[in-house]
Amino acid sequence: MDKNKFYITTAIDYVNDTIHIGHAFQKIAADVLARYNRIILGKDNVFFLTGTDEYGQKAEKAAKTAGISPLEFVRKVSLSDRQQQDSLNISYDRFIETTDKDHTKVAQEIWKRVDKNDDIYTGEYTGLYCEGCEAYYDDSDLKNGKCSFHPNLKIKKITEENYFFKWSKYKDFLINHIKKNKDFIFPHERENEMLEFAKNIKDIPISRSNFTWGVPVPASPQGGPNDPKQVMYVWFDALTNYLTGVGFLEDKKLFAKFWPADIHILGKDNLRWHALLWPAILKSAEIELPKTILVNGFLNLNGQKISKSLGNIIRPTDWVKKYGADAVRYYLLRYTNLTNDSDISEEKLKQAYNADLANGLGNLVSRVAKLCETNDLSLEPQSKLKISDPIEKRIKEFRFNDALGVIQSAITLTNTSINEDEPWKLKGNKLQSSLEKQILRLRQIAVDIKPFLPQTAEKIEAQFKGPKIISAKPLFPRIT
């Protein structure tokens, strides 16, 4: 990570439907990293980008089914996505929509740069296409003739006149870059998967001609006006949002400050495009590559894939309304592994809420506050604390579950210390010393949980800043 700035992006979500709790998992993880780096670097040196991917055939078809224009449809879903993220206190600096005017300019500018480098040509594509991924595949990519990410969709065989990108030209560059830059793909075990795929890279169509909802292709390789028959392939357009987000054309200072991206966080289904296609496009356009592609695992709900067809979609707001944003954030970060697939359920969330938050942290805060209030404790001004080394180490290693495990141990240790000290039996300086020791531990816990549970951290800090400390409502009322 750069010592002076930090730029993190999430995948931008496709607007065929509002995001669910599985998508939100990635946004929460990115938010932890953004909040941590704001603490370390200052908020002006961190930029966090998220948003929606709004062009493509799926959006056009969905709009037609809904009986409204594509723009009206995608903006409706985008607003809903933003509301879902806001419910979880995702602290993005920009929520980009790929229908934004500045993004159209950037996508077309990158096309022109790639074209200028003689990396675009016209040709006919005949092959396999997954509408769910909006991606081209070979037979070898499929399992029993189906896309592994969209097994319920029929793979289409299409023939189109398109513009092609000379992806194969960058095969050796991509392989060498991955081998030489061990932090480029994380977790590292996914490197071999990408290296294997890179060996068989072929040129790829980067425009479509059988629908119109997309960024217009700016010109043919020979120059001229927009091609009226072609729109950009959605991946070529969508990937460039990471440049748009920090002002590639609109704000040169912002772009110079934050590019290259420090972390692109995305799901494993998007890895190929980010680790292989995106770097090739950037290399062709003569733009520096991002530093790390961080791949998050998928969440299953009650042992099943989360999908509309199964009817098991959970929106973030469904759980936030019942348990609060910080409780949902805690459960998803504490009881999953960021880079592996994990199984979640509302019953497990409720158990974690009552055991770890209501009976654990919440009870500890109430207990210490009541002791201070009963004994009329008055605090002297205290020095500012920093995130403890064990927590910092685990955040940098993307081990959020382990970091929260360390914090949970600190909560248990503090409760044990209170039982051993028995402050209710003490008086005078001994009582003051005992309570100040527990307050210091609570203040450290508040600092350590700030990237994970921002609202809870603020409440604890406010309650124990002194000089007088009084009881307050429980942070996490027990749920029966």
Catalytic residues, which ones?
20, 23, 130, 133, 147, 150, 305, 308
**Short-list 312, 308, 311, 361, CA closest to 334:** 361
Strand, helix or coil for residue 100: coil
Q: What amino acid occupies position 183?
A: D
Chain centre to alpha carbon of residue 279: 20
DSSP letter for 302, please.
T
Q: Are 88 and 27 in contact (CB under 8 A)?
A: yes
Cβ neighbours of residue 177 closer than 8 Å, sequence gap 6 or more: 184, 279, 289
DSSP letter for 222, please.
T
**Short-list 322, 321, 345, CA closest to 332:** 345
Chain centre to alpha carbon of residue 17: 18
Strand, helix or coil for residue 306: coil
Q: What amino acid occupies position 413?
A: L
DSSP per residue over 321-366, as a string?
Answer: HHH-HHHHHHHHHHSS-TTS-EEE-HHHHHHHIIIIIIIIIIHHHH
Q: Are 442 and 364 in contact (CB under 8 A)?
A: yes
Total residue length of the chain: 480
